[in-house]
Every structure is written in structure tokens, then in C-alpha cells.
Amino acid sequence: LMKALKIIGILLITIIMFSGCFKENQLTRRLDGSWNIYILKKTVYADDDLFLELCTSANNVGNISFDKDGTGDYHIAINLGEDLFEGSNTFQWENTASTVTIYDQGIRKEYEVDENSQERQVWIRTLDPYTFIGMDSEVEYRFVERITLIKI
């Protein structure tokens, strides 16, 4: 009986370890290719109150591509009223079963994967505390970025 319980325990541990690897590999496979940046929403809270919000939900904020070798590139164009912000670059990336980390121009951005399907990805990144030039030092700020990607 003890031997059987030991074998069952070892099998359970092995299954749990492989299921984590499976989910990580599944996300890696799903990301491979080109995606439309469908929604890009950046929100800043000051003491839990909405302070600033930028939400672009045009049909094409830009594109982002992921290659299996851990590299990628993006191009974004965001209409900021009278100004247009454009940016393009290459980056390095990696993932776990529940996160995607992008290394862009020396900056590390780690996103929690909120939705993971072959056709749609939703990621969330939170910086708490959040600091910026001109901020009120008496206020606690939090930054939340939410990105929705649609497979091209």
C-alpha cells in the first residue's frame, strides 16, 4: 500500500510539472506570428481615483510580431488628438505559462496573460507604485496597461 501511494505521488508530481511546461509551450506556439494591436489602454490612478486614461481602440493601433527564436518587432501609430505618436522597433521576448516579458530598448515589460487563445490575447501590466516627472509626492500613483491582440 505504501509503495502504491509513493508511485501515485510521484506520478501526480510529474503530471503537474509537465502541465506547467505544456501551458508555457502552448502560449509560445500561439504567439508565433503577427498580431493586430486592437486595443491599447493605459490608465493612471491617483490614490485609487482615475487620474489619466488613454484608450485607443481603433481597428489598427499597430502590429506586433513574435518569432519562435525569442525576437519580434512592432509598429504602432496612436492618434493623440492633434499629434500622432509613431514607434517601431525590434525586441526580445520570453514567456511562462501566465506571463509574457518583452525587452525593448533596455526596458523590461512583464505582462500577465488575462486571456490566451489562438485568435486573441489580452495582457495586463501594472506598475505600483508608479512614478513620473511632475508627480505630486503626496499622492500614490498606480499605472495599468491593458493590451488586446487579434491574430492576423
The mean predicted confidence, pLDDT, of the chain is 85
Q: Angle at Cα 82 formed by Cα 80 and Cα 86, nearest 5°?
A: 50
User: Given this model, what pLDDT does residue 92 score?
Assistant: 97
Q: Are 66 and 73 in contact (CB under 8 A)?
A: no
**What are 146's three cell numbers?**
491593458
pLDDT (tens digit per residue) in 18-71: 444 556 688 999 999 999 999 888 899 999 999 988 877 655 789 999 999 999
Specify the higher pLDDT residue, 95 or 22: 95
Full-model pTM: 0.79
User: Given this model, what pLDDT does residue 15 score?
Assistant: 47
User: Given this model, what pLDDT does residue 56 score?
Assistant: 72
| Burial category of 42 from C-beta neighbours within 10 Å (exposed 0-12, middle 13-18, buried 19 and up) | middle
Pick the range with the lowest mean pLDDT from 7-11, 41-45, 73-77, 100-104. 7-11
The SS3 call for residue 3 is helix
Q: How far apart are the first and last CA of the chain?
A: 54
Write the CB contacts of 33 (distance below 8 Å, at least 6 apart in sequence).
Answer: 65, 66, 151, 152
Is pLDDT of 102 > 90?
yes
User: Given this model, what pLDDT does residue 70 score?
Assistant: 96
